[in-house]
Amino acid sequence: MAEYVIITDTSCLILLDKIGALNLLYTLYRNVLITPQIAAEFKTALPAWIQVVSVKNSNLLKAYANQVDLGEASAIA
């Protein structure tokens, strides 16, 4: 099985959590990344297997944040 790195946004986390299937991300992908902005929007304790990684290009984040919400902007950036 190939290993992938997945960057998810808040909506995915919320919906999977509501149906009790958050673990599906780990089962399918193993490497799940989110940003601090997404973690703050999720407002729920994260499983240890979700890695929180800061956006490296803050200018890109700001540019995208003018078009979509901050969580989505951080995932894209």
pLDDT at site 5: 79
And the tokens for 21? 């299937």
Task: Name the pLDDT band for 47 (thresholds 50, 70, 90).
Answer: very high
DSSP the chain: ---EEEE--HHHHHHHHHTT-THHHHHHHEEEEE-HHHHHHH-SPPPTTEEE---S-HHHHHHHHTTS-HHHHHHH-
Segments making up each domain of the chain, as ranges:
4-76
Name the one residue in this structure whose structure tokens are 């999720």. Answer: 42
And the tokens for 70? 């901050």
pLDDT at site 42: 95
Task: Name the pLDDT band for 23 (thresholds 50, 70, 90).
Answer: very high
pTM above 0.85, yes or no: yes
